Structure 1
Amino acid sequence: MSNLIPFDYETLRLVWWLLLGILLIGFAVMDGFDLGIGALLPFVAKTDEERRVVINVVGPVWEGNQVWLILGGGAIFAAFPMLYAVSFSGLYLAMMVILVALILRPVGFKYRSKIGDPGWRSTWDIILCIAGTVPALILGVAVGNVLLGLPFEFDDTLRTFYRGNFFQLLTPYALLAGLVSLSMLIMHGAALLTWKTEGVIADRARSYGRLAALATIVLFAVAGVWTAYGIGGHVLTSVVDPLGPSNPLGKTVAVEPGAWLANYTAYPWMMIAPILGFAGALLALVGFTAKRPALTFITSGVAIFGIIATAGVSLFPFLLPSSLDPSNGLTVWDASSSKLTLWVMLLSTAFFLPIILIYTAFIYRVMRGKVTTVSMDKNPNAY
């Protein structure tokens, strides 16, 4: 069977590393504006009618957007099962906090409109704001902790032992990464609001969007300097066979200052990632100021792509470093599924991903146009 696969094991591992990054970026871009709009809800909309407009910008599409999160989780489970096992067990409480917030969001959409009482609706507005803010922040904190390394190790039988707890995740560096995530998703949400709404809502979104874009630029720069000079990066000190079986115990790793920058020296083209992060956020800032909503939304998406890609290429080939025993950290070469599994999953992805993209494009074409009180009155399914 292996002879029928047209790619070698190394290539399949690299392809799935790229696909995992694409799926996670897809989630951040597609569902990120949902989270950003939720975080902005009490600030850009002051009356009940304005808040209904804001909610109906994302209400019809949030379910489809979360498909990217499901795809990302499924890709981790199928392509890198060791990564799935360590991260989802070690970060269990953090994952549950995110999950509860993501569950409360659709509940808020549905329940808010059931009763016209102002107190009832205000309560759900606060919940929707929290449900947008918390995942955006915690997901960034998780990325920060990946760069720092998580306190896990394996025994001789590859059983995982996680030695940390939830509160140990909230270090200053990780919280900075969380703020980068929160600011860029608020920027993205504000960009969509300026495109899909009008009047005072769009004006307020534009003001908050400028602040978020500026914060994204500054925080991303600070995080870059801190990563270069304030934390240690992991580097392989033994040869790892990219065609060999997955065994995270078969290598040695050292922790060195600035090691997360080594890939940019070895592969200068990787500098494209941070350049896109800064350029996208800067152009989004210009777009907010110039009142160019389509440009603003596109460039804020470019910024998200660049910022997340920066974390990915900085870590490569590591997927999840270990702060407890660096040699137990997981890499692309020793945490993947079998060659056959990766090939079968690649065929499945090649079939289903275009369908998802076509369906998503169709939905957004149907939902094109601005959301106004008039359009909501014409839609019996409006929230």
Structure 2
Amino acid sequence: MTLDYETLRLIWWALLGALLIGFAVMDGFDLGVGMLLPFVARTDLERRVAINTVGPVWEGNQVWLILGAGAIFAAWPPLYAVAFSGFYLAMFLVLCALILRPVGFKFRSKLASPRWRAVWDGALFVGGLVPALIFGVAVGNAFVGAPFRFDADLRLTYEGTLLGLLNPFALLCGLVSVAMLTLHGGTYLALKADGPVAARAARIARKAGLALGLLFTIAGFYVAFGVAGHAVLHGAGGNAPSNPLAKQVATQTGAWLANYVLHPWTLAAPALAYAATALAALLVVRGRPGLAFVASGTAVAGVVATAGLSLFPFLLPSSLDPNAGLTVFDASSSRTTLLIMLVATLIFLPLILAYTAWVYRVLRGRVTETWVEAQGKAVY
């Protein structure tokens, strides 16, 4: 059976969502552990316990970020052009923060000096907080619309600034992201750490779950009553060549909720986010960290899916010229490119999933203070 252009575009929209969810779930608890490091560990040994829960896996988890960025580059070139040029300074801050993580992991144990280790522990905290915040801010700006336009020859003009990205709704989404990954990191530490670190992480995870539920609700009301949503009135069909200007777009407050009215099944995403968040917060304090971690990962998936389903068919709306907003159907690569990429993805993605599952099976079990002391300098 031959897949038509519209179907391939929808498949790649779903795959992009899956890759972003994979990144948020897999690398999300790494970022969460970094944010929690100053609050769950009071001694150097306790900090080493927390760090070594993610020590063997944090590098592999970043593969999902590369996969997501690569999918955007290959499947949605205009989206890549707008996001990675217009949001350049924000992305630069994220990269700087992410660079601090490997440096912090590798350098903190080189010297026994408390001041030396405190500096790199601070770097790990920043390396967790900044990406979590800015990724949420980026999603918030997707709802508000980015300040870009195209001319008649599809040449891009971006008129925004870094400070312009820090609007109230975007900052609210940043806080949602921070609370979400704090919950995820807390359940992971409750599962993988031992003693006081696990106990403190469980208590913080419960509070983060409550904060996530509250912030997610406030963001929902903001989307319904405070943000001008975009809706395609008419334009190129799903099988038409990519051209962001071949459509007409209207803006109206509450338009981002239209998909939930037209397709009630999409309500499953926010419902899943709420239910999984509540379940994770409940299970983690009742001594069921394994199930709590699964629930927090499900909550992350629900929150990310809610954003994607609310925006559909838009990938990145424009606040300067709504007609220039990028959608699933007018910003993709060619049909041949999408088809070749799909074949490659069907071959290699299962291999990545199988290898990841094997790694986590091999590394199962808790990281204890006794084990860390016994390993000496062989671990972080």
TM-score range, shorter chain: over 0.9
SS in 2 for 1:204: helix
- Aligned counterpart, 2:42: 46
Q: How does 1:264-303 map to 2 (within 5 A)?
A: 264-303=260-299
Which residue of the other structure, out of 157, 164, 171, is the alignment partner of 2:160?
A: 164
Which residue of the other structure, out of 110, 113, 122, is the alignment partner of 1:114?
A: 110
CA deviation profile, 1:143-179 (whole Å, cap 9, x unmatched): 0000000000001111110000000011111000000
CA deviation profile, 1:22-76 (whole Å, cap 9, x unmatched): 0000000000000000000010000000000000001110011000000000000
Which residue of the other structure, out of 17, 22, 38, is the alignment partner of 2:18?
A: 22
Residue 80 (structure 2) pairs with residue 84 (structure 1): yes
- Aligned counterpart, 1:350: 346
Structure 1 length as normaliser, TM-score?
0.98
Give, in whole Å, the separation in 2 of the partners of 1:240 and 1:81. Answer: 18
- Aligned counterpart, 1:96: 92
Give, in whole Å, the separation in 2 of the partners of 1:142 and 1:381. Answer: 38
Give, in whole Å, the separation in 2 of the partners of 1:255 and 1:222. Answer: 21
Percent of aligned pairs sharing the same letter: 59
Give, in whole Å, the separation in 1 of the partners of 2:87 and 2:272. Answer: 30
Please tell me the residue identity of whatever aligns with 1:157: D
What are the ranges of 5 or more consecutive residues in structure 1 without an aligned counterpart?
none
Please tell me the residue identity of whatever aligns with 1:244: A
Please tell me the residue identity of whatever aligns with 1:382: V
Residue 359 (structure 2) pairs with residue 363 (structure 1): yes
Which residue of the other structure, out of 168, 174, 179, is the alignment partner of 1:178?
A: 174
CA deviation profile, 1:69-105 (whole Å, cap 9, x unmatched): 0000000000001100011100000000000100110
- Aligned counterpart, 2:54: 58
Give, in whole Å, the separation in 2 of the partners of 1:226 and 1:29. Answer: 25
Residue 324 (structure 2) pairs with residue 337 (structure 1): no
Contact 2:189 2:197 in 1 (8 A): yes
Give, in whole Å, the separation in 2 of the partners of 1:151 and 1:70. Answer: 26
Contact 2:235 2:247 in 1 (8 A): yes
Residue 372 (structure 2) pairs with residue 381 (structure 1): no
Contact 2:193 2:368 in 1 (8 A): yes
Please tell me the residue identity of whatever aligns with 1:363: V
Q: How does 1:233-244 map to 2 (within 5 A)?
A: 233-244=229-240
Give, in whole Å, the separation in 1 of the partners of 2:4 and 2:372. Answer: 54
Which residue of the other structure, out of 187, 190, 195, is the alignment partner of 1:191?
A: 187
Contact 2:235 2:246 in 1 (8 A): no
SS in 1 for 2:367: coil
Give the drift of 1:374: 2.5
SS in 2 for 1:255: strand
Please tell me the residue identity of whatever aligns with 2:49: V
Please tell me the residue identity of whatever aligns with 2:285: T
Residue 31 (structure 2) pairs with residue 35 (structure 1): yes
Please tell me the residue identity of whatever aligns with 1:132: G
Give, in whole Å, the separation in 1 of the partners of 2:378 and 2:68. Answer: 30
CA deviation profile, 1:93-145 (whole Å, cap 9, x unmatched): 00000001001101100000000000000111111111100100010000000
Give the drift of 1:373: 2.3
Give the drift of 1:289: 2.3
What are the ranges of 5 or more consecutive residues in structure 2 without an aligned counterpart?
none
Give, in whole Å, the separation in 2 of the partners of 1:267 and 1:79. Answer: 25
Contact 2:140 2:170 in 1 (8 A): yes
Please tell me the residue identity of whatever aligns with 2:378: N
Please tell me the residue identity of whatever aligns with 2:88: Y
Please tell me the residue identity of whatever aligns with 2:46: E
Contact 2:232 2:250 in 1 (8 A): yes
Please tell me the residue identity of whatever aligns with 2:195: G
- What CA RMSD, in Å, does the superposition of the two structures yield over aligned residues? 0.9
Give the drift of 1:378: 4.6
Give, in whole Å, the separation in 1 of the partners of 2:143 and 2:287. Answer: 36
Give, in whole Å, the separation in 1 of the partners of 2:53 and 2:192. Answer: 7
Which residue of the other structure, out of 201, 205, 208, is the alignment partner of 1:209?
A: 205
- Aligned counterpart, 1:227: 223
Contact 2:194 2:369 in 1 (8 A): no
Give the drift of 1:354: 0.7
Give, in whole Å, the separation in 2 of the partners of 1:124 and 1:166. Answer: 27
